[in-house]
Structure 1
Amino acid sequence: RQGCDLICLLLVLPVCFAAINIKELNEVLYDVSLEGVPVGFEHFSLSASVTSVDDVSLPEFTMQENAHTVLMASAFGQRFVCSLPSADHQRSTVYDSTVNLDVRLVAEVVAAAFYARSCIRKNLGWWTYELCYGKHIEQLHLEGSDDVGTVLSLGHFVGNLPLPYFVPKVGTQLYFEQHYADGSECDVTHKSRSSTVRFICDELLATSEAYIDTVYERSSCEYVLTVKTGSLCKLSAFRPVGRPQTALTVMCRPTLDHGGAMRYVRSLITDQQNRREKSELIERLVAKADSIQRQRFARKRTTFNTPRAEHRAMLDEKRLRKKFNDLMKLASRLNADLEGVTYADVQVFDDIHEMEVMQVMKMRIVRICIGILWIAIGIANSFQ
């Protein structure tokens, strides 16, 4: 809600400077970013020893409005300091000529939007219009998912039309058209119905997406369908003229009075204490898990003389393994919370086998060292 309020304020912001740049409002895209760190606290940090707000020196900030920094407020009374970017030299004015564009290439690019779904529909009240790319256009009435009554053909695919002569202007787009003819007979002209399909780039769509935007009858039984696709945007000549490559970010940070700053610092201290407690708890959990692994390893080296003892050892191993997994999962969940990431309940790595391998390697190394020692003693005795 606060973001929406700020956007509305930004739309009337030029009034503050006694002039409204209509061209800039039409051509430039803005994106409001609300930062969580208040003004003046950008480089603020707490030392590990801080436990009270009385131990902290609050940063001071003096706000001075200018052409690029303004003070604003949301509907809830929260004040923000917003940094306004410069729109100069950041908008795209380059237009790629259509001279080297081949109509067949353009048609193939548009077809990419219909690979997953070859037919698209548009409901306009009583009638529903269906376009099957490169095949036909139909007008039908639907009740639920069923066709009711006569299906009218608005034309079958004839071919691609030449690219139109296009003079690039801000807010305009080049389009690509196809012609469909030989549809159902028209009751008015007694001629076959026909249609023109006009394809336009929509940068908000994925390459595989397309939809019928408008349908209108420019004369009796002659239709024009406007279809927006994402794939056509792959050809830069079809993108909107004069749009900035990326939206310009308006950075807004909350500004706090003395009381608000005190509350903010208290929240930082509380968060730091919670993080410290969680870190200490994680260390204790990992230490307990390590102790359990050592117990399991010691039990695996024990020789059992009776089946009953072996069965009891299996139950103990199952209990210890579950306890180890629970401890490590809890430690992982707490660590994910500390890092600010989503916890995934993953398989816990059980290093008991690694411990066994390490023990075997240690025993081998000990035997080798003992063997080398005996050889050295034998060599020394031979020289005496």
Structure 2
Amino acid sequence: MPNKDGNNFLCFLPKVGKAKKPVTHQNTSSMIVETEKRVKLKTPDELLEVLKNQCFIRQEGWWSYEFCYQKQLRQLHLEEDKVVQEFVLGVYDEKATAAFNQNLSNISTLKDPRSKDASQRYHAHQYTNGTACDLTNHPRETEVRFVCSEPRAMISSITELSTCKYALTIQCPMLCKHPLFQEERPVWHTINCNILPKDYKDTKVDGTHFTMIMDSDDPSTYDSSK
């Protein structure tokens, strides 16, 4: 079939092997542990150590959110740079974090449900014992999710999963150094096409069918220690 300029093309489709078996949550943790042992990779928490003494702020309308690594998460209303209303959404809970990760074979590599194909893994910390919730009479709590993302560390989103229970996502370029936290990307295959002579008519050669292509066009941070 001709393209928009009336030229015919002979195209060869690449040979594509069977798709690899997708990595499931059940075997991802053991894969990370084995990979770290084999090539001596740093653990997620070791990679995240550079965030110590750092705080991050994100503004969403009336509220601002201040996250200080391994310290606390606050929900603030600011007027002229002064805090006029404050809720603590959780304080870093080392024991709860350890217990959470232990249940996931030492390393949590759950999938981020907000990513387009739910393929981006994250490492989680637990923040508990926040300000008491008026609706549940229980302390507010937050799961902080660290994901591999360039170019700088920052709060990318905060979501209320249920009443007074939150999920905060932090983009962390340093986590990209661990291969199993890198975002899964689709595999692209190249289709090679050659222009045919104007007098070429047949679309079959020795019983082999060739596919014609109609168009050739390619389908904010601060140091809390100071």
TM-score by length of 1: 0.36
Q: In structure 2, which of residues 57, 61, 68 is the aligned counterpart of residue 125 of structure 1?
A: 61
**1:237/1:87 CA distance change after superposition, 3 Å:** farther
1:233 aligned onto 2:176:
yes
1:109 aligned onto 2:47:
yes
**SS at the partner of 1:188?**
coil
CA contact (8 A) 1:98 1:237 kept: no
**SS at the partner of 1:99?**
helix
Superposed displacement of residue 94, structure 1: 8.5
**SS at the partner of 1:223?**
strand
Output the amino acid matched with 2:87: L
Superposed displacement of residue 108, structure 1: 1.8
1:223 aligned onto 2:166:
yes
**1:193/1:249 CA distance change after superposition, 3 Å:** same
**1:225/1:166 CA distance change after superposition, 3 Å:** closer
Superposed displacement of residue 164, structure 1: 4.2
Output the amino acid matched with 1:213: S
CA contact (8 A) 1:140 1:148 kept: yes
Aligned CA-pair RMSD: 3.7
Render the CA deviation track for 1:357-382: whole Å, top value 9, x for unaligned.
xxxxxxxxxxxxxxxxxxxxxxxxxx
1:140 & 1:97 partners in 2: Cα distance? Answer: 37
1:165 & 1:148 partners in 2: Cα distance? Answer: 36
**1:231/1:94 CA distance change after superposition, 3 Å:** farther
Structure number having the greater strand percentage: 2
**SS at the partner of 1:172?**
coil
1:100 & 1:197 partners in 2: Cα distance? Answer: 23
Which structure has more RCO (C-alpha within 8 Å, separation ≥ 6)?
A: 2
Structure 1: runs of 5 or more not aligned: 1-15, 17-61, 70-84, 251-384
CA contact (8 A) 2:78 2:85 kept: no
Aligned twin of 1:179? 126
Superposed displacement of residue 241, structure 1: 2.1
- How many residues align? The count is 163
Render the CA deviation track for 1:7-59: whole Å, top value 9, x for unaligned.
xxxxxxxxx8xxxxxxxxxxxxxxxxxxxxxxxxxxxxxxxxxxxxxxxxxxx
**1:200/1:63 CA distance change after superposition, 3 Å:** same
Aligned twin of 2:76? 140
Render the CA deviation track for 1:32-87: whole Å, top value 9, x for unaligned.
xxxxxxxxxxxxxxxxxxxxxxxxxxxxxx99442669xxxxxxxxxxxxxxx969
Render the CA deviation track for 1:220-275: whole Å, top value 9, x for unaligned.
2111111221111111111122445xx8899xxxxxxxxxxxxxxxxxxxxxxxxx
1:225 & 1:177 partners in 2: Cα distance? Answer: 10
Superposed displacement of residue 100, structure 1: 5.0
1:192 aligned onto 2:139:
yes
Structure number having the greater helix percentage: 1
**SS at the partner of 2:73?**
strand
2:176 & 2:21 partners in 1: Cα distance? Answer: 16
1:105 & 1:237 partners in 2: Cα distance? Answer: 11
Superposed displacement of residue 187, structure 1: 1.3
**1:68/1:143 CA distance change after superposition, 3 Å:** farther
**SS at the partner of 1:152?**
strand
1:190 & 1:215 partners in 2: Cα distance? Answer: 22
CA contact (8 A) 2:131 2:139 kept: yes
Identity of aligned residues (%): 27
Aligned twin of 2:157? 214
